[in-house]
Amino acid sequence: MDHFNYQHHALYAEGVCLKEIIEKVGSPCYVYSAATLTRHYQVFDAAFTDQPHKICYAVKANSNLAVLNLLASLGAGFDVVSQGELMRVIAAGGDPTQVVFSGVGKRPDEIAFALKHNIYCFNVESLAELDCIQQIAHHLNVRAPIALRINPDIDAKSHPYVVTGLKESKFGIAYEDAISAYKKASNLANIQIRGLDYHIGSQLVELSPFIEAIHRMNELILKLQSLGITLQHLDIGGGLGVVYQKETPPLPDEYARAILKNCPYQDLTLIIEPGRAIAANAGILITQVLYLKESAHKNFCIVDAGMNDLLRPALYSAWQEIIPIERLNEQEAIIYDVVGPVCESGDFLGKNRVLAIKQGDYLAVRSAGAYGFVMSSNYNTRPRIAEVMVKDKQYKIVRERETIEHLYRNEHIW
């Protein structure tokens, strides 16, 4: 469910007509719905009420300060993968003691920064990282809270670029090495074992991989308990998919029931790290039709947003719905490839889309609230675009559009 709907042929975000935002902010821009973000977070939180839990929003999905501030106000914790993301959480009013720090390449300075801010837990992805955390914690005279991220070798049945739980993945410690890794951690003076972590991938649309993964972790928890290694939490990661086209992912309550039914450890706090499932359908990308280029072979709708603004279609061949801001039906519907201005053949937002449009019209790319702006770049010396948050009948620019001068102000001529 989201709050982007047509009213009298015009597309609205909650109670705001998108044409009003375009007139003030310009094109292209991202628009987020606070009501949708709120609802998606609360649905996740309510789904796990039968067990102690933390919903730690995955900041990498959408790291705008307004998004993080809204989620923090709702009680969210956060899953971060860099010092920069942790600093964003703090700047947005989030509580660092409710932060888990994931990622395979944490730098020593990032680890020290996180320890100084008393984060809840590091999700440790290698023995080398564990040694590094021990050394830094010893130097700071603290005990570092950790969970080991274990790779269960489960196929998430998703796009290969977002599958993280196979043996071929760079993420986590191999399942067969988990016991020896926990034994090592338990003997390090400046390490405090807090939990067990796993994450098998993103955009999962079936329950079976989640269930298979938690069964493997149940076996591991039993072995750890037999060794006297106690855990406070089980971090089950994120990855629940969303509807982009015709997917039928489980709803959060169905996902939660499957997890809770197969997790016999009622005393463990569950940590859930949804990102896409909270943010994706809470945002759209607005773009203007610059030119229509039609021929006997192929029709192109050339818009002012490109792969530097929304990378998912070019990177993953991802499908996202593209709809007009106004449905006036004045034009004949034609099949177009919707392409951007970037000088790459891979620069497209959607292929073979049936659209009734004319030059100057505006389009909305739906499901753009996650992995949209955060993956944008300045390729072709294109400024990153504005972000807008809508709350009921009001809106606010929550990130100003960059200027071209911004892009080279830190450069120097020899």
Residue 283, annotated as binding a ligand = no
Which residues are CB-neighbours of 80 under 8 A, at least 6 positions away?
A: 59, 60, 86, 89, 99, 100, 101, 102
| Residue 236 to residue 255: CA distance in whole angstroms | 12
| Residues 293 and 258 both lie in one domain | no
Q: How far lies 267's CA from each of 155, 263, 328, in Å?
A: 28, 10, 57
The pLDDT score that the predictor gives to residue 165 is 46
Number of other residues whose CB lies within 10 A of the CB of residue 187: 8
Mean of the per-residue pLDDT values of the chain: 94
The pLDDT score that the predictor gives to residue 332 is 86
The pLDDT score that the predictor gives to residue 166 is 53
The pLDDT score that the predictor gives to residue 23 is 97
User: What's the distance, Cα to Cα, between the start and end of the chain in Å?
Assistant: 54
| Residues 288 and 334 both lie in one domain | yes
Do 63 and 85 form a contact (C-beta atoms < 8 A)? yes
Q: What does the block give as tokens for 302?
A: 């050339």
Residues 359-407 pLDDT 10s: 999 999 999 999 999 999 999 999 999 999 999 999 999 999 999 999 9
Residue 316, annotated as binding a ligand = yes
Range of the domain at 139: 34-279
| Residues 28 and 42 both lie in one domain | no
Question: Is residue 237, in this structure, part of any structural domain at all?
Answer: yes
| Residues 302 and 178 both lie in one domain | no
Question: Is residue 291, in this structure, part of any structural domain at all?
Answer: yes
From 251, 279, 307, the end of a domain falls on 279
Spot the catalytic one: 29, 263, 301, 343: 343
| Residues 297 and 213 both lie in one domain | no
Residue 216, annotated as binding a ligand = no
Q: How far lies 89's CA from each of 107, 240, 258, 368, 393, in Å?
A: 18, 22, 30, 21, 27
Question: Is residue 103, in this structure, part of any structural domain at all?
Answer: yes
Which residues are CB-neighbours of 233 under 8 A, at least 6 positions away?
A: 54, 121, 147, 194, 195, 196, 268, 269, 270, 271
| Residues 174 and 206 both lie in one domain | yes
- Number of domain units in the chain: 2
Do 90 and 111 form a contact (C-beta atoms < 8 A)? no
| Residues 208 and 326 both lie in one domain | no
Residue 125, annotated as binding a ligand = no
| Residue 146 to residue 130: CA distance in whole angstroms | 9
| Residue 29 falls in the annotated catalytic set | no
Q: What does the block give as tokens for 49?
A: 């009420």
In the predicted model, residues of the chain with pLDDT beneath 70 are 155-168
Residues 217-255 pLDDT 10s: 999 999 999 999 999 999 999 989 999 988 898 999 999
Residue 312, annotated as binding a ligand = yes
The pLDDT score that the predictor gives to residue 93 is 98
Residue 395, annotated as binding a ligand = no
Do 281 and 2 form a contact (C-beta atoms < 8 A)? yes
- CATH number at 81 reads 3.20.20.10
